């Protein structure tokens, strides 16, 4: 069978899929996140490479049912997980459209309206950060990425290029002394990966200890920079995290911006999760000072309810972004009068899918106000849950939640090792039947249970059920629970 389908086939398959997705969405408020523990399998599939095709409807049927019946459901309302949201339905439709139109975002000439939509979406984000164009010249530039890791990588590449412009062509070896950057002990590991890939080595990341609120200790940071300068290193960047992965802690961006001004360092805000707060008028102060950053990472596929993938890197140093990524090619049509820059000149990627349409369409259909409501509601739920923990006899709050992640632990569990075992046993018991998902982690070096309000479908009822499950779990002796 060739790839062409006739109109009737296309519609039959399309409606089938839409009906299926519709039923899936209807099930999400009460759907189990995964199968019970004894039915989960993690082996590989062993199908032979199909030489010839099969009936499309039957294959689609099979696949959809398998994916749902045997899958892990990040979009479920009972997923209190790792920053992966229930996608907005309108964004799901946008993805379908993008796949069909398949615009090539590398160049304006081959995407035109799609590129302009992307640039407009970046502008909307920039304006929410607080960056405005001056004299018709954008005071910022940015691009959609595959996610936060690529956005952080890009931002650190730009920071390095801004400080050591010759290194872009001649390499970091020509800098003469080792460049170093600073991030909190709680910052995301994509910072380590990025510095490794940039050729300055993962050890170039100075991990600075955090205070009791798990924010970078600014005095300690200042000392570390002074020590490095004395020792002949070349500090070039500070990474502030706005919403750590473990706890949702937000570094003091204002203090870091002051420090970076004084020491002439690039300030990058990794707001993969927390920078979404700029979409709320009421809560934008959660990331106060973000407008003073040189660059920002924001992941719409986290708190902005977008399906994978959608990250954004944005900077108010457009010339540095271009210096880092611009290359010349003889095979691309050039239109020097174009006001929209070809994306390949500001991105790590060449061929690029349109990750922006889903956010653009969601904003067009639901408006920013929908995010105002979402952020307010989820912060309220997180605070209500934290209050429940605070009043609990069995659990204690480890940290006041700044955003929507709650870190707590079993009360009076004994040594740190016993506490870790008790926390793990509770999580194991709560997640064993598959109906909901929470996790353990270490925050500030301490074992904690981590629950995150990330689905727009999560409501008070889901939290009450989680509380019941936690209470039932904590009463099971550790050894029995771990079975």
Ligand X SMILES: Cc1ncc(COP(=O)(O)O)c(C=O)c1O
Query: What residues make contact with ligand X under the rule CB under 6 A?
Result: 83, 147-149, 152, 188, 190, 241, 243, 245, 270, 272-273, 299, 311
Structure tokens at 433: 């039947």
Q: Which is nearer to ligand X, 403 or 426 (CB)?
A: 403
> Minimal distance in Å, beta carbon 134 to ligand X?
30
Q: Which is nearer to ligand X, 242 or 481 (CB)?
A: 242
| Residues 326 and 58 sit within 8 Å (Cβ to Cβ) | no
Backbone φ and ψ for 346, nearest 5 degrees, come out as: -130, 15
> Minimal distance in Å, beta carbon 147 to ligand X?
3
> Minimal distance in Å, beta carbon 273 to ligand X?
5
Q: Which is nearer to ligand X, 83 or 204 (CB)?
A: 83
Instruction: Determine how many CB atoms are found less than 10 A away from the CB of residue 48.
Output: 5
CA distances for 253 relative to 215, 257, 365, angstroms: 10, 6, 32
> Minimal distance in Å, beta carbon 25 to ligand X?
23
Among 47, 58, 46, 73, which Cα is nearest to 12's? 58
Beta-strand relationship, 446-452 and 405-410 = antiparallel
Q: Which is nearer to ligand X, 96 or 308 (CB)?
A: 308
Q: Which is nearer to ligand X, 266 or 388 (CB)?
A: 266
DSSP designation for 30: T
Q: Which residue is nearest to ligand X (CB)?
A: 148
> Minimal distance in Å, beta carbon 374 to ligand X?
18
Residue 94 CB contacts under 8 Å (≥ 6 apart), including other chains: 357, 358, 360, 361, 362
Q: Which is nearer to ligand X, 78 or 154 (CB)?
A: 154
Structure tokens at 10: 């296309």
> Minimal distance in Å, beta carbon 471 to ligand X?
29
Beta-strand relationship, 395-397 and 439-443 = unpaired
> Minimal distance in Å, beta carbon 303 to ligand X?
11
Residue 110 CB contacts under 8 Å (≥ 6 apart), including other chains: 103, 104
467 burial level (CB within 10 Å; 0-12, 13-18, 19+) = middle
Q: Which is nearer to ligand X, 197 or 231 (CB)?
A: 197
Size of the chain, expressed as the number of residues it contains? 483
> Minimal distance in Å, beta carbon 394 to ligand X?
29
Q: Which is nearer to ligand X, 154 or 458 (CB)?
A: 154
> Minimal distance in Å, beta carbon 383 to ligand X?
21
DSSP helix/strand/coil, 424 = helix
> Minimal distance in Å, beta carbon 92 to ligand X?
18
Q: Which is nearer to ligand X, 31 or 188 (CB)?
A: 188
CA distances for 279 relative to 119, 130, 166, angstroms: 18, 11, 37
Reported in sequence order, the residue ranges of 225-379 that DSSP labels E, i.e. its strands, are 234-241, 266-271, 295-298, 311-315
Which string of DSSP letters, residue by residue, matches 280-308?
-TTTGGGGTTGGG-SEEEE-TTTTT-PPS
CA distances for 404 relative to 266, 332, 469, angstroms: 28, 45, 20
Q: Which is nearer to ligand X, 81 or 179 (CB)?
A: 81
End-to-end CA distance of the chain: 51
């Amino acid at each position: 069978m060739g790839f062409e389908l006739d109109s009737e086939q296309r519609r039959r398959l399309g409606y089938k899929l839409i009906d299926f997705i519709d039923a899936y969405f209807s099930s999400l408020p009460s759907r189990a996140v995964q199968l019970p523990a004894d039915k989960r399998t993690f082996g590989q599939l062993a199908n032979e490479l199909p030489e010839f095709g099969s009936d499309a409807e039957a294959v689609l049927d099979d696949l959809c049912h398998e994916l749902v019946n045997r899958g892990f459901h990040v979009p479920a309302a009972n997923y209190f997980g790792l920053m992966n949201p229930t996608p907005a339905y309108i964004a799901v439709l946008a993805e379908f459209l993008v796949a069909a139109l398949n615009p090539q975002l590398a160049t304006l000439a081959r995407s035109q309206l799609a590129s302009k939509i992307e640039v407009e979406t970046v502008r909307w984000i920039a304006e929410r950060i607080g960056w405005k164009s001056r004299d018709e010249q954008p005071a910022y530039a940015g691009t959609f990425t595959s996610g936060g890791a690529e956005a952080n990588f890009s931002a650190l590449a730009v920071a390095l290029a801004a400080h050591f412009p010759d290194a872009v062509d001649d390499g970091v070896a020509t800098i003469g002394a080792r460049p170093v950057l600073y991030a909190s002990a709680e910052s995301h590991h994509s910072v380590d990966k990025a510095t490794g890939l940039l050729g300055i080595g993962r050890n170039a990341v100075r991990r600075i200890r955090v205070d009791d609120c798990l924010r970078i200790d600014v005095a300690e940071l200042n000392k570390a920079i002074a020590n490095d300068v004395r020792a002949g290193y070349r500090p070039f960047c500070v990474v502030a995290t706005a919403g750590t992965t473990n706890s949702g802690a937000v570094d003091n961006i204002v203090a870091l911006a002051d420090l970076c001004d004084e020491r002439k360092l690039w300030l990058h805000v990794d707001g993969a999760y927390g920078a979404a707060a700029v979409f709320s008028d009421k809560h934008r102060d959660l990331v106060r000072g973000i407008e003073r950053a040189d660059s920002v990472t924001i992941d719409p596929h986290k708190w902005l309810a977008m399906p994978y993938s959608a990250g954004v890197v944005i900077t108010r140093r457009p010339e540095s972004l271009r210096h880092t990524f611009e290359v010349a090619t003889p095979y691309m049509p050039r239109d020097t009068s174009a006001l929209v820059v070809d994306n390949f000149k500001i991105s790590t990627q060449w061929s690029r899918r349109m990750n922006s349409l889903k956010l653009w369409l969601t904003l067009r259909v639901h408006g920013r106000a929908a995010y105002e409501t979402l952020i307010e509601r989820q912060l309220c739920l997180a605070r209500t849950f934290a209050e429940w923990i605070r009043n609990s006899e069995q659990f204690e709050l480890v940290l006041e939640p700044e955003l929507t992640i709650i870190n707590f632990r079993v009360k009076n569990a004994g040594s740190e090792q016993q506490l870790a075992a008790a926390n793990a046993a509770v999580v194991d018991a709560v997640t064993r039947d598959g109906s909901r998902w929470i996790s353990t982690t270490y925050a500030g070096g301490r074992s904690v249970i981590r629950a995150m309000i990330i689905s727009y479908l999560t409501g008070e009822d889901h939290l009450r059920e989680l509380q019941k499950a936690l209470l039932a779990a904590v009463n099971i002796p550790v050894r029995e629970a771990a079975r």
